[in-house]
Structure 1
Amino acid sequence: MSTTTQDPKSIEKVLDLIKDIHIAMMTTVDEQKNLVSRPMAVIHTDADGSLWFFTKKSSPKVDQIEDNDSRVNIAFADTDNSTYVSVSGTATEVDDRAKINEYWTAEAKPWFPAGKEDPELTLLKVNTEMAEYWDSNSSRIVRLFQMVSGAITGTPPDMGENEKVYN
């Protein structure tokens, strides 16, 4: 595993890994200090690694973010390709109608039937502070062979690239 600090190429790698994973699990901390996760659709990513989501202003996650130092984790998984990404950072509610108009897509309509003018509609922006990823460049057959071989020989399989990226 390697660690990279403020390397734009590493942030690009993280963004490339998550670009086709449209649903992620967002974890916040509730009032009792429980970790609470829910699926969220990423609607936009910035070049600096910031992630954007639509949500409702009255959603418990908005209160949880405001009440608990805005710390969140966003977990991405593409099991078909053995790609996993964990993003840690801070989240803020951004009630910006211009950005809502810019990021609005037809895919958001089922969640917000009143459309982009819905007064409950707001944005969550997650500023990435650290991301870690695991990415296997091998096919499923190769990964399976490595796992079986590892079980027989007692040698951990090489499951691909793992890196921590600090922003």
Structure 2
Amino acid sequence: KENAVGRTGVFMIDASRGFMKDGNKNRLRSQDIHKIVDTFNKQIEIDRYSRMVPMSEIADPKNDYNLNIPRYIDSSEPEDLQDLSAHLHGGIPDRHLDALAPYWDAFPPLRSQLFKPNRPSYSDLTIDVSQVQQTILDSTEFQKFAGEAKALAGDWFTAHRDALAAIDQNTTPN
């Protein structure tokens, strides 16, 4: 009701997959509620989960003001498309490696340590598959990241040690 005149759309969230089965009921877990609240408060659009639906789309005759979430958010799992060229000629499609961009951004030299060009748009591992995990763990960037994460966790634990030690069977979580 608030700001109804100025509203340009409806923010929708499909939380149909974020729950735990409890008998014949579906119960939201605390992490599901946290994700819903964060997504809504920050108005974050997440593919297959949330989006701002313009009033023009809701008012469109094909939708006729029906606010059924699946009309606006497709939460189905995307089909696993197979790359026949990779199956027939070998190699890992570069688009699969590109999808891991956040990791390459965090650990820049890692991609070139693990992969080499095979042919246009395809790459091969530079090492045996059994060595991938150890190569990542041994990389300087990962070591630095792990050290920083361990230090942050240690600082948090030190700051909260007394509160954690005070927890007993009479403690009730918020």
TM-score, with structure 2 as normaliser = 0.23
Q: By percentage of residues, which structure has more strand?
A: 1
Larger Cα-atom Rg: 2
TM-score, with structure 1 as normaliser = 0.24
- Greater RCO (Cα-Cα under 8 Å, separation 6 or more): 1
